[in-house]
C-alpha cells in the first residue's frame, strides 16, 4: 500500500530538483542490502581468484623514467611499473623477475591501487583527472597481461552488477514513480528474471561496434596482399570511415547512456535492444542529459563524503570506547586495530600480531572494519542506480512527455487485489490496486 505521498511539482516548474531524492532512495535498508550483497559477491570472487597469485611484486627494482606524482607504500608491482614506465618497462621487469620475485593476486593489486587513489584524492583534494586516467590504464594492464583472469572476473562482476542494478533500479523506479515500496525478495526476483535483458543491454553495444568494425578489419587484411592490397585499401577507405562513423555513434551513445540501461529495463520491462535504444535518449537532448548527470555526480560526491564521514565517526567512536577499556599504553589495541583515519579506514600494510589469540582477534576486528567499508561502497552503488533511475525518468518526461508515474507492471509479477477508493463511489471506476510487496497494476474497469 502507499505509505508516502508522492513529491509533486507544479506544472511547468523545473524537474532537476528531483535529482536530490536519490539520497533518500539510496539509503533505504533493502536497497543497501542488495548493493551490499553485490559488493560482497564481487569481493569474494576476487579473493577466491587471488588464490592463484600471478602478479609479480618486488621491493628493489628501479623503475625507468619514474613519475613523480605516483607514490606508494607497498613493494613495486607489475601495475606500478606499467603506470610509471609503460609497456616496455613492464616487459623488462617481468622478464628479469620471472623466477625470483614474490607474487600476489590481480584483484588485491587493483584493490590496493584503487584505495591509494581514493586516499590521495581525499587527503590532497586534487589529481582526480590523473586518477581516472590511471584507473583506465590499470584495467588495460589487467586485460593485457592477465587476460583470462580479467575476463572471468569481469564476467562475474558484470552479471552481479546487472542483477543488482536491475533490482535496485526497479525498487527506485517504483518508489520514485508511485511512492511504492518493493520488497527485497521481489526486487531480487525481478533482477533474476530480467538478467538476460540487463546483461544484453550492457554487452550489446560492444557487439554492435564489433559488427561495424568488421569491414575495416577486412580492408586491413586486404592490405596485406602485395601491391594490389594497399591500393584496394586506399580505395576502400571511405567505406571503412563510414563503418567507423557508425561504430563511433554507437560508442558515444553507449558511454552516455550506459547508466540509463538498467532504469529502462526497470521502467519499461524492456528487452536488451529496446533498453539500448531508449538509453540513446542522450542524443535527443544532450545538454539536459549532461546537466542532470553533472548534478547527480556533484550531489553524489557530497553525499559520499557525508556517508564516509559518518562511517569514520562510527569507527573512531567505537575504537575510542575500546581504548578507554584497554589498560596501559594501549599498545595491545593498536596491534589489534590500528587507528582509522578519514582517508584510510584500514591500513592493508599493517602486520598481524604473532600470537594466535591476538591474530584471531585482529582478523575479526579487520573483518568488521571491512564490512563497514563494504557498506560505504554499497551506498555508492545504490546511489548510482537510484540517481540513474531518476535521471532516466526526468529525461523521459522532458523529451517524450511521459509522466513520471508511468511505469510498466506485468500481470505475471504478482496476483493483485483491487481495493476500492474511499473518494470514488461504488458505481464509479475502481481505484488502482497497489500491493504491499511493491508491485502495482490497474484494477478491472466496470463495463459501461
Mind listing the pLDDT tens digit for each residue in 229-238? 888 888 888 8
Q: Among 16-30, 80-94, 281-295, where is mean pLDDT lowest?
A: 80-94
Give this prediction's pTM: 0.81
Most confident of 4-8, 120-124, 291-295, 339-343: 291-295
> Which among 237, 235, 241, 278 is positioned nearest to 256, based on CA atoms?
278
Q: Above 90 in pLDDT, residue 37?
A: yes
The pLDDT confidence band at residue 195, using thresholds 50, 70 and 90, is: very high
Q: Provide CB contacts within 8 A for 116, sequence distance 6+.
A: 72
Whole-angstrom distance, CA of residue 155 vs CA of residue 158: 5
H helix intervals, 258-355: 261-268, 272-279, 286-325, 331-336
Q: pLDDT at position 427, please? A: 36
Q: In sequence order, which ranges of 326-346 are alpha helices (DSSP H)?
A: 331-336
3-state secondary structure of 104: strand
Query: What is the rounded CA–CA span in Å between residue 427 and residue 446?
Result: 8
Pick from 5-9, 201-205, 322-326, 356-360: least confident:
5-9
Label residue 224 by pLDDT band (50, 70, 90).
confident
pLDDT of residue 343: 83
- Report d(CA 314, CA 300) in Å as an integer: 21
Cell reading at 79: 601495475
299-337 confidence digits (pLDDT tens): 999 999 999 999 999 999 999 888 888 776 677 888 888
What percentage of the chain exceeds 90 in pLDDT? 31
Angle between helices 228-257 and 195-222 in degrees, nearest 10: 160
Spell out the domain ranges in the chain. 55-145, 287-400
Q: Is the pLDDT of residue 94 over 80?
A: no
102-104/76-77 β-pairing? unpaired
| 84-101 average pLDDT score | 75
Within a 10 A sphere around the Cβ of 10, how many other Cβ atoms? 6
Helix (H), strand (E) at residue 434: strand 433-434
Cα dihedral 107, 112, 113, 118 sign: positive
Task: Look up residue 28 and give its DSSP letter.
Answer: -
**Strongest mean pLDDT among 79-83, 315-319, 345-349, 400-404:** 315-319
Give percent above pLDDT 70 in the chain. 80
Average pLDDT over residues 71-78: 58
440: enclosing H helix or E strand:
strand 440-441
State the Cα–Cα distance between residues 416 and 60, nearest whole angstrom: 68
Taking the C-alpha atoms of residue 127 and residue 148, their distance in angstroms, rounded to an integer, is 31
What is the predicted pLDDT for the residue at 56? 73
Amino acid at each position: 500500500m502507499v505509505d508516502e505521498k508522492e513529491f509533486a511539482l507544479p506544472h511547468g516548474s523545473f524537474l532537476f530538483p528531483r535529482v536530490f531524492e536519490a539520497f533518500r532512495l539510496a539509503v533505504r535498508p533493502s536497497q543497501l542490502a542488495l548493493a551490499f550483497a553485490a559488493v560482497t559477491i564481487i569481493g569474494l570472487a576476487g579473493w577466491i581468484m587471488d588464490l592463484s597469485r600471478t602478479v609479480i611484486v618486488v621491493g628493489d627494482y628501479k623503475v625507468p623514467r619514474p613519475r613523480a606524482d605516483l607514490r606508494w607504500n607497498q613493494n613495486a608491482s607489475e601495475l606500478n611499473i606499467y603506470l610509471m614506465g609503460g609497456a616496455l618497462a613492464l616487459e623488462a621487469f617481468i622478464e628479469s623477475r620471472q623466477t625470483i620475485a614474490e607474487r600476489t593476486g590481480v584483484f588485491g593489486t587493483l584493490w590496493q591501487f584503487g584505495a591509494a587513489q581514493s586516499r590521495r584524492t581525499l587527503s590532497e583534494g586534487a589529481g582526480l583527472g590523473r586518477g581516472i586516467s590511471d584507473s583506465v590504464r590499470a584495467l588495460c594492464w589487467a586485460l593485457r597481461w592477465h587476460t583470462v583472469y580479467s575476463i572471468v572476473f569481469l564476467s562475474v562482476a558484470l552479471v552481479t552488477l546487472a542483477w543488482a542494478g536491475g533490482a535496485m533500479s526497479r525498487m527506485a523506479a517504483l518508489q520514485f514513480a508511485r511512492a511504492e515500496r518493493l520488497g527485497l525478495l521481489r526486487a531480487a526476483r525481478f533482477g533474476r528474471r530480467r538478467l538476460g535483458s540487463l546483461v544484453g543491454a550492457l554487452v550489446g553495444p560492444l557487439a554492435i561496434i564489433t559488427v561495424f568494425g568488421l569491414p575495416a578489419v577486412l580492408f586491413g587484411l586486404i592490405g596485406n596482399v602485395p601491391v594490389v592490397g594497399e591500393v584496394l585499401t586506399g580505395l576502400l577507405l571511405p567505406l571503412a570511415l563510414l563503418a567507423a562513423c557508425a561504430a563511433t555513434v554507437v560508442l558515444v551513445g553507449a558511454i552516455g547512456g550506459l547508466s540509463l540501461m538498467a532504469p529502462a529495463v526497470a521502467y519499461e520491462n524492456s528487452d536488451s535492444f529496446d533498453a539500448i535504444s531508449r538509453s540513446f535518449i542522450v542524443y535527443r537532448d544532450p545538454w539536459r542529459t549532461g546537466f542532470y548527470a553533472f548534478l547527480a555526480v556533484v550531489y553524489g560526491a557530497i553525499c559520499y563524503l557525508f556517508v564516509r564521514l559518518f562511517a569514520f565517526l562510527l569507527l573512531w567512536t567505537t575504537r575510542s570506547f575500546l581504548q578507554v577499556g584497554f589498560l596501559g599504553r594501549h599498545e595491545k589495541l593498536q596491534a589489534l586495530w590500528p587507528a582509522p583515519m578519514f582517508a584510510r579506514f584500514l591500513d592493508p600494510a599493517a602486520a598481524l600480531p604473532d600470537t594466535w589469540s591476538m591474530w584471531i582477534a585482529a582478523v575479526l576486528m579487520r573483518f568488521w572494519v571491512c564490512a563497514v567499508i563494504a557498506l560505504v561502497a554499497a551506498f555508492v552503488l545504490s546511489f548510482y542506480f537510484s540517481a540513474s533511475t531518476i535521471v532516466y525518468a526526468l529525461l523521459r518526461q522532458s523529451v517524450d512527455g511521459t509522466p513520471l508515474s508511468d511505469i510498466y507492471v506485468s500481470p505475471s509479477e504478482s496476483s493483485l487485489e483491487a481495493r476500492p477508493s474511499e473518494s470514488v463511489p461504488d458505481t464509479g471506476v475502481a481505484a488502482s490496486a497497489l500491493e504491499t510487496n511493491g508491485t502495482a497494476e490497474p484494477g478491472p474497469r466496470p463495463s459501461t
